[in-house]
Amino acid sequence: MSNQPTKQKLWGGRFTGKTDPLMHEFNQSLRYDQRMWAADIAGSIAYAKALNLAGILTKDEQEKIVQGLTAVGQEWEQGVFDIQPDDEDIHTANERRLSELIGPLGGKLHTGRSRNDQVATDMRLWLLTEIKHVVRGLKGLIRVMVERADKEKDILLPGYTHLQRGQPIRWSHLLLSHAFSFRADLERLSQLIPRISVLPLGCGALAGNPFVVDREFLAKELGFSSVAENSLYGVGDRDFIVEFMMWASLAMTHVSRMAEDLIIYSTAEFGFVTLSDAYSTGSSIMPQKKNPDSLELLRGKSGRVFGDMAGFLMTLKGLPSTYNKDLQEDKEPLFDSYDTVSASFKIAEGVIATMEVHAEKMREALTMDVLATDLADYLVRKGIPFRETHHISGRAVALAESRKCQLNDLSLEDYKQLSDKFSEDVQSVFDFEASVERRESIGGTSRKMIERQVSVLRTALEQMLPEEKA
């Protein structure tokens, strides 16, 4: 028999039996949490410096640990890190490799630190870094929508409520309505960041750090805005993950609603837009088909992201205080939500940038009945209360329908029978361009208001949240 000591897990001192192989696989999270390697290395380097300040490590020991951790990080970056069967998670894998590189000194790094505060720190640090990529993707989507809206202000189409034609609007107005939802998503994300940027490191397993490490130093070193004031809260809180997934669920709902509009408008029945071949697929049996699969996937992915959030909430709701192994289930839904929302913004940007807009088809969809409100407004300007003018306009619509003609085909005599306030200038109502131009209050669909909306969004893009540079 070998005289070599049995290799122990980091937590294995009180255990004499071996872990069931299936249990090891069930417990292991390295297959997915290894994507946090950079955050884990950064947190450990900062902690080594804090241990030096606390007198636990000498300056020389700190430097050797930092050099070793840097080398471990380079292995991950170069794709040569050798994962071992007993590596449970990114934390144990990095510490194991550190000790291989610098010897028993590596064991000092964990002094006063628990995987409980370590993983909570890694998660927050990882998310703070990755949010910058989300911001870049969302801003890219908003930009392409704003630029397209600015160039296509002349295109008119019906605005719909209940999927029934309501009033004429500018195509740009519709695009910008979705862009403003995404701007609100940027605002919500900015409000979330301070609650993510709370440092758990130094909370220990649950009761705090017994070596009086300088946690404010750690926060500054790692770029956190604040320090978790309560150690129980620090190691057990995952609200920031739930909040991000709630945010992602709402942002994807906005993506889905925009996708639904474009799916409808791309049908042969509407024919308002045609998707680029790059974002469409065909049918395996019907050669004529051009399916908006990109938009349908965007619509479907919104349900996936909501499911990630709802599933983790069900895990979280029944947990007792501080750390429980159930919390390991936070990573996969978070990573999936992040990956899905990031990809979705890029796909949506590509769809908007490359789709063809059919201005003539949109214009053809405008029928005179969408000016019925304008007809009522015409009489308001003649001094009749709106509730009465609404009724008169409705009777005009009914008359035109009974004659199978348009509102502008009715004669002046027809209108005078409805109200003596009608005169020859009633024909000025039946002008789609004039109708949209009358909507010149803030929020309206006139050219001036479209230009205002474009300006507001451009300013917001410049002012809200920094982007991760390519």
Residues annotated catalytic, as ranges = 162, 283
Residue 53's CB is within 10 A of a number of other CB atoms, namely 14
Alpha-helical (H) ranges within 167-292 are 171-196, 215-222, 231-236, 239-265
Spatial neighbors of 184 by CB under 8 A, at least 6 apart, are: none
Spatial neighbors of 434 by CB under 8 A, at least 6 apart, are: 428
Q: How many helices (H) and strands (E) does the chain have?
A: 18, 6
Q: What angle do CA 319, 39, 75 make, to 5 degrees?
A: 130
Spatial neighbors of 304 by CB under 8 A, at least 6 apart, are: 336, 340
Q: Using CB atoms within 10 A of its CB, is residue 229 exposed (0-12), middle (13-18) or buried (19+)?
A: exposed
Residue 349's CB is within 10 A of a number of other CB atoms, namely 19
- Return d(Cα 12, Cα 15) in angstroms, integer: 5
- Return d(Cα 243, Cα 189) in angstroms, integer: 9
Strand 356-357 to strand 198-199: parallel, antiparallel, or no bridges (unpaired)? Answer: unpaired
Please say whether the beta carbons of 112 and 50 come within 8 A: no
